[in-house]
Structure 1
Amino acid sequence: MSWWLVPLAALVGLVMGALGGGGAIITVPVLVYLAQQPPAAAMVGSLIVVSATATAGLIGHWRARLVRLGEGVAFAALGSAGAVAGSLLSMQVPGQLLMALFAVLLLIVAGLMTKKFLRPSPTPPRDVPPMIGGDPRRVNWRQVAVVTATATGVGMLTGFFGVGGGFAIVPALVMVLGFSMQQAVATSLLVIVLNSLVALATRLTVAVDVDWALIGWFSVVAAAGAILGGRLGRRLPARTLGLGFATLLAVTAVLILTQSLTG
């Protein structure tokens, strides 16, 4: 792997570990435009990188007991079902309009996240009860209903726009379910691991010429960055994480709009 790809791989890991998403949106362009990988190979390679990176970042969050297992598994399962419906709907919309709508959605979410975390005295996150408590017979049906609706809706959005991961999951967990930023980041990484592995298993059924040496080293560096990013994320204030995530969304939206208008 070329030396100048090392800091970019580390950046992928830092972003994912600290903010719970953004890895694929950075990795795919890097592999295509800078590492000169064919798009099909870059998408498979990105799934490998994201799976390894999210797993590395997840370990520390798991040990810190920030991962909401029930909600994470539900988001992965229900989100996949919603993504199928969203994908079918997206086929009816022109690609350029689709990207413009996606950029607008990112700007709206970024604005809502910024408003939430710029409040002079931000409301501390409420203690959100889990869907299933210590006794499996005690099910929080209200939480189950909210998670089901939210996960399906997020899945439809990710399927409609062809993206996924923390860009949609983290804001939903924070603004709809009332998770803290640290819990949202940790749970988002769990969802990313599960979804990426399913997508990777599907794509590997088709022969793709993957540069395993490049992807292997990229994954190792990104995983190391995710471990560091996770440690930073657990120490940073929730406001800093929230505003950082909103900034990442806004920058991505501007880049997409610029590409759409000039492309």
Structure 2
Amino acid sequence: MSVLIAAAALPCGLLIGLLLGALGGGGSVLAVPVLVYVLGQSPHEATAGALVVVTVGAVTGLLCHARAGRVRWAAGVTFGALGTAGSYLGSRWSAAVPPAVLMAAFAGLMLVVAALLLLRGRSERRAARSPRPSRSARLRTPRPDHPDRAHPPHPALRSGRVAVTASAVGLLTGFFGVGGGFVVVPALTLVLGLEMPVAIGTSLLVILLNSLTALATRAGTGHLDWPLLAGFAACAALGSHLGNRLTTRLPAQVLTTAFATLVTLLALATAAAAVPRLWPP
């Protein structure tokens, strides 16, 4: 690893970790294009290397949330175990896809992430503008935290939703090398009815299990630049710690909108570079 590449890797890892810590899920989606277009790795090497960064970030965050009691271990292990098959298949499928197709698909994924982040920022702005009822009114008016708690679905339907959602998350992790937190957190909230702080903590356990499965599947299939990835992951872990502090200084909707804009621009740049290669001259 050259000094020039190391100098580029460290601030990029710090930025990704900063976004992860400030916004939760979604920051790791930047790892693959950074590894490809800034650090010169092939798409297949980048999707495998990104899993290392995701795994380190998941372990770091999981320890913090576990100490605070925000991890539901049984739910996380179950959700993660159901996603291992999808993670395995996604890793195998990714290895067989041409690099240009992989990066074009990744550009589409980033646009989906950006749209989800914009919707999240929109809901945060609505929540900030809506007047909060008084404490006495909240006590007098019982309100379920989630519609499923008021009208719980049939157990078989709920189990099917959990299995399908977990498999889809595992497929994303294996194929693209992303943590999938932008999918896991809403899934744990909507499907299992977990409160948001607990869903965020539990999602890191799901991400860790899926990432380890994908890494084991890819073991021996390609070369990984471990010194580069170690420095990249260490900076991401440091950035994640700093990002947690940033959330107390800036409004959440400002951070979310800014990150969505960055992901959109990066998605368009990735598509502009990858799509023309789908039809070689």
What amino acid sits opposite 2:267 in the alignment? I
Question: Which residue of structure 2 lines up, in the alignment, with residue 53 of structure 1?
Answer: 57
The aligned counterpart of 1:131 is none
State the partner residue of 1:210. 224
* Matched-pair contact (CA < 8 Å) for 1:12–1:222: yes
Superposed CA deviations along residues 173-194 of structure 1, whole A, max 9, x for unmatched, are: 3455554443333222222111
Aligned to 2:168: 156
CA separation of 1:24/1:151 partners in 2, compared to 1, >3 Å: closer, same or farther?
farther
1:16-45 CA deviation, whole Å, 9 max, x = no partner? 233333344212222222222233332222
Q: Distance in 1 between the 2:232 and 2:159 partners? A: 34
Where 1:118 maps in the other structure, the secondary structure is helix
Q: In structure 1, how many angstroms separate the alpha carbons of the residues matched to 2:92 and 2:131?
A: 39
User: Which residue in the other structure is 1:4 paired with?
Assistant: 8
CA distance in 1, matches of 2:249, 2:199: 14
Higher mean Cα deviation, 157-166 or 82-91?
82-91
Tell me whether 1:225 sits opposite 2:239 in the alignment: yes
Per the alignment, in what secondary structure is the counterpart of residue 236 of structure 2? helix
Spell out, residue by residue over 1:229-255, the C-alpha distance to the aligned partner (whole angstroms, 9 max, x if none): 34555x579xx4466446534542454
Report how many aligned residue pairs link the two structures.
Answer: 247
Higher helix fraction (1 or 2): 2
**Secondary structure in 2 matching 1:79:** helix
Residue of structure 1 in register with 2:130 after alignment: 121
Query: Which of structures 1 and 2 has the bigger CA Rg?
Result: 2
Q: Which residue of 2 aligns with 1:195?
A: 210
Q: Counterpart amino acid of 2:235?
A: V
* Cα distance in 2 for residues equivalent to 1:160 and 1:166: 10
Task: Read off the aligned partner of 1:159 and give its amino acid letter.
Answer: L
Q: Distance in 2 between matches of 1:173 and 1:111?
A: 20
Cα distance in 1 between the residues matched to 2:33 and 2:107: 18
* CA pair 106-175 structure 1, distance change in 2 beyond 3 A: farther
Match 1:248 to one of 253, 259, 281 = 259
Residue number in structure 2 paired with 1:69: 73
2:117 and 2:257 in contact (8 A); partners too: yes
Q: Are the aligned partners of 1:61 and 1:230 in contact in 2 as well (CA < 8 Å)?
A: no
Farther-moved stretch of structure 1 (9-18 vs 73-82)? 73-82
RMSD: 4.2
**How far apart are 1:160 and its partner, in Å?**
7.0
TM superposition shift of 1:105 = 4.1
Structure 1 residue 103: deviation in Å? 5.8
Partners in 2 of 1:197 and 1:245 — Cα distance? 28
Q: Give 1:166 shift.
A: 1.0
User: Match of 1:4, SS?
Assistant: helix
Aligned counterpart, 1:136: none
Cα separation, 2, equivalents of 1:74 and 1:253: 33
Q: Deviations over 1:77-117 (max 9, x none)?
A: 233445678999999xxx59966864664455335423422
Letter in 1 for 2:124: F
Contact 1:57/1:229, CA 8 A, preserved across alignment: no
Cα drift, residue 197 of structure 1: 0.8
Q: Distance in 1 between matches of 2:253 and 2:91?
A: 29
User: What amino acid sits opposite 1:219 in the alignment?
Assistant: A
User: What percent identity do the matched residue pairs reach?
Assistant: 37
Deviates more, 1:115-124 or 1:43-52: 115-124
- Does structure 2 retain, via aligned residues, the 8 Å contact 1:60–1:230? no
Counterpart position of 2:201: 186
CA distance 1:25–1:105, shift in 2 (3 Å): closer
Distance in 1 separating the partners of 2:49 and 2:92: 25
CA deviation digits over 1:195-243, x for unaligned, max 9? 111100110132x22222111122222122223334555x579xx4466
1:82–1:156 contact (8 Å) kept in structure 2: yes
2 CA distance for matches of 1:231 and 1:145? 40
Unaligned stretches of 5+ residues in structure 2:
133-137, 147-151, 276-281
2:44 is aligned to: 40
Structure 1, unaligned stretches of length 5 or more? 129-139
Judge conservation of contact 1:86–1:155 (CA < 8 Å) in 2. no
